[in-house]
Structure 1
Amino acid sequence: MKRGFSFSLPVTVVISAIAFIYFCTVFIFIDRWFGLMTSPGVMNAVVFTGVAVTCVLNYGFAISTDPGRVPSSFMPDIEDSEVPIHEIKRKVLLVGSLTNDSQNDEQQSADSFRTAYVICGLLLVPLSVALSVLLGWHIYLILQNKTTIEYHEGVRAMWLAEKGGNVYKHPYDLGSYENLTTVLGPSIFCWICPTSRHIGNGLRFRTAYDGKSAASISE
């Protein structure tokens, strides 16, 4: 489901930053480094344009796609002290990254170019740091098969379990490889551009207790 487009200040700032970095990279950095009329210049401009278009499209999908609603016919499992499986609302955190590495050996004299370099630096340095931290954080979450909400819930659950003398284990933690295939898909070749077809309807996810339950039933 698609929601209506309504631009807010954060959306405008993000789009403006992407547009500014794109035009500075293509029409200043690449043009003065290679020249837009040369083969290396055209190749770099095409590649960077593709990256920029991908970023804009993914950002547009992220802010315009409605995550949907829980079906009215869905009835959650009854949770008690003997049922360690807790169905937690899942969410998908998407993060995209945009990196730029430019080299300029010529002495710049125009104030406009200096201004563009300073602004790009002021934008790229904090963006690179923030995106690197987010990338590392989401790699950790994927390896643990957690969402951000589940991480914070797990911290409290672990504290309560230790307080009661029990050992807490995240119910969706299936092991590093199984977590990767659960989140990114069963095929390693699709991990670069993962899909959500293997997830199903999103109402039920594999847990570490599924195998134990099947084994106890067979016995």
Structure 2
Amino acid sequence: MKLKRFFSIPIVLVFCLMSFIYYVTIFFLINNWLNLQSSVGSLHALIFTFVASLCFFSFLVCILTDPGGIPSAYLPDVEENDSSDQEATKTGRNQRLCDKCSAFKPPRTHHCRVCRKCVLRMDHHCVWINNCVGHRNYKAFFVLVFYATMASIYSLIIFIGCVFQKDLDFSGNMPLMIFYISYGIMTVGLSVTLGTLLGWHVYLTARNMTTIEYYESKRKAWLANKSGLLYHHAFDVGTYRNISLVLGPNVLKWLIPTARSHIKDGLSFPTARDNS
């Protein structure tokens, strides 16, 4: 069933883009600039291959990992009053019932119209992995963006080095000039786009917030400000602990997409109120 996720035009495009950048960087840029047979050229090729492999592996993990669904036997605590969630109410259970799934929703759970199910700690639905980004695969998505950013910047640096060190002469070779210009624009665009996305998710992770919760918090902060109150995201338990809850307590495993032993059932989360 999960293999069906690979039959998607965006995923095929990502595979093609990864393969194209890898081939050009290794066999065209590094080979022309430093020569793959040299020790320096081989070292750069090895490092880039390592980063690209981790990026590709993280991509596969994102696609194949279920983001997390509500257990069929789940029932909310009647006493629970999750003041951080937009749907937390005075009536307890009723307003935590998904009107599409007809299932009770744990805190931070949202219904995905594309996947047609409720996803635990849903961040967003990503067409580029043909999957939701949620509780069980958010770390893999974060790591994927990190490695993709590093690979794009690395390729851009190799490209710049090749262009300036080789002192290329494009006179009489218009196709080669067009290729270099196109590849430069593409890698700059990718580096900026992925770098911005990485920065965004570093911010969210440091605040222990999802994309959905960020936009919800803007409205809540506005309402709190109107009432003369100071809004604080309920699941923000301190920067380091926030990061540890997402990436894990072991710093050495932060960039391993499959190191998910720290991820719990996703039905409840520590809050700032628990620490007070």
TM-score, normalisation: structure 2: 0.68
Contact 1:22-1:52 at 8 Å conserved across structures: yes
Structure 1 residues 7-66: Cα deviation after superposition (integer angstroms, max 9, x where no partner): 322222222222211111111111111112222222222221222222222222222333
- Given the alignment, which residue of 258, 263, 266 partners 1:202? 266
Task: Judge conservation of contact 1:158–1:168 (CA < 8 Å) in 2.
Answer: yes
Please say if 1:177 is aligned against 2:240. yes
Aligned length: 211
* Contact 2:6–2:12, Cα closer than 8 Å, also in 1: no
Matches for 1:5-44 after TM superposition, within 5 Å:
5-44=5-44
The one-letter amino acid paired with 1:210 is D
Aligned position for 1:121:
184
Paired amino acid for 2:181:
V
Q: 2:83 maps to what in 1?
A: 84
Larger RCO (alpha carbons 8 Å, 6+ apart): 2
- The residue identity in structure 1 corresponding to 2:217 is G
Stretches of structure 2 that go unaligned for 5 or more consecutive residues are 86-106, 110-120, 122-133
Does the 8 Å CA contact 2:206/2:242 hold for their aligned counterparts? yes
Distance change (3 Å), C-alpha of 1:193 and 1:177: same
Are 1:161 and 1:168, in contact at CA under 8 Å, matched by a contact in 2?
yes
Alpha-carbon distance in structure 1 between the residues aligned to 2:199 and 2:184 = 22
Q: In 1, distance between residues paired with 2:184 and 2:216?
A: 38
Alpha-carbon distance in 2 for matches of 1:3, 1:173 = 36
> Which secondary structure does the structure 1 equivalent of 2:2 belong to?
coil
Q: Give the Cα–Cα distance (whole angstroms) in 2 for the partners of residues 6 and 191 of structure 1.
A: 26
Contact 1:85–1:209, Cα closer than 8 Å, also in 2: no
Residue pair 1:3, 1:65 contacting (<8 A) in 2 also: no
2:175 and 2:31 map into 1 onto residues whose CA distance is 15
Root mean square deviation, CA, Å? 2.4
The 3-state SS of whatever aligns with 1:173 is: coil
2:212 corresponds to 1:149:
yes
Task: Give the whole-Å Cα distance in 1 for the aligned partners of 2:177 and 2:7.
Answer: 31
Q: Which residue number corresponds to residue 66 of structure 2? A: 66
- Structure 1 residues 147 and 54, CA, compared in 2 at 3 Å: closer, same or farther? same
Percent identity, aligned pairs only?
Answer: 38
Structure 2: distance between partners of 1:113 and 1:57: 32
Taking the aligned partners of 1:172 and 1:59, their CA distance within structure 2 comes to 28
Whole-Å separation in 2 of the counterparts to 1:169 and 1:209 = 11
- Matched AA of 2:27: F
User: CA offsets per residue over residues 82-118 of structure 1, 9 Å max, x none?
Assistant: 6535411212243232222121222244545433322
Structure-2 residue corresponding to 1:216: none
Are the counterparts in 1 of residues 36 and 42 from structure 2 also a CA contact under 8 Å?
Answer: yes
TM superposition shift of 1:144: 0.8
Which residue identity lines up with residue 33 of structure 2 in the other structure? Answer: W
Moved more, 162-171 or 115-124: 162-171
Contact 2:84/2:233 (CA < 8 Å) preserved in 1?
Answer: no
Q: Cα offset for 1:166?
A: 3.5
- Paired with 1:128 and 1:64, the residues of 2 have a C-alpha distance of 25
